[in-house]
Structure 1
Amino acid sequence: MGVEMMIGMGLIWLLVVMVLIGAVAALWKYLRSDKARDE
């Protein structure tokens, strides 16, 4: 039971981290393209 819960938490954390990285990457690209357009 404990091991399954640990694996479940690990998968949830992995998903959260991937979503955060994806959001940061998208925001980074958006801001960079925005600045490029201003110049």
Structure 2
Amino acid sequence: MMLCDLLFFCYSSLLEDIYRFCQVFIFIFLIQFKNITL
């Protein structure tokens, strides 16, 4: 049970980091795209 909780915690924090990274990447991509089109 303890190991499962630990794994879940690590997994969720990893997902959170990936989610944040993707948000930043998409944000930068959109800015670049706007600059190209404008």
- TM-score category (smaller protein): 0.7 to 0.9
In the alignment, residue 20 of structure 1 is paired with which amino acid? Y
Stretches of structure 2 that go unaligned for 5 or more consecutive residues are: none
Identity %: 8
CA RMSD, Structure 1 to Structure 2 (Å): 1.1
Give aligned pairs, total: 38
Corresponding position of 2:17: 18
Stretches of structure 1 that go unaligned for 5 or more consecutive residues are: none
- Normalised by the length of structure 1, the TM-score is 0.76
4+ aligned runs moved over 4 Å, structure 1: none
- Normalised by the length of structure 2, the TM-score is 0.77
Correspondence list, 1:1-39, <5 A: 2-39=1-38
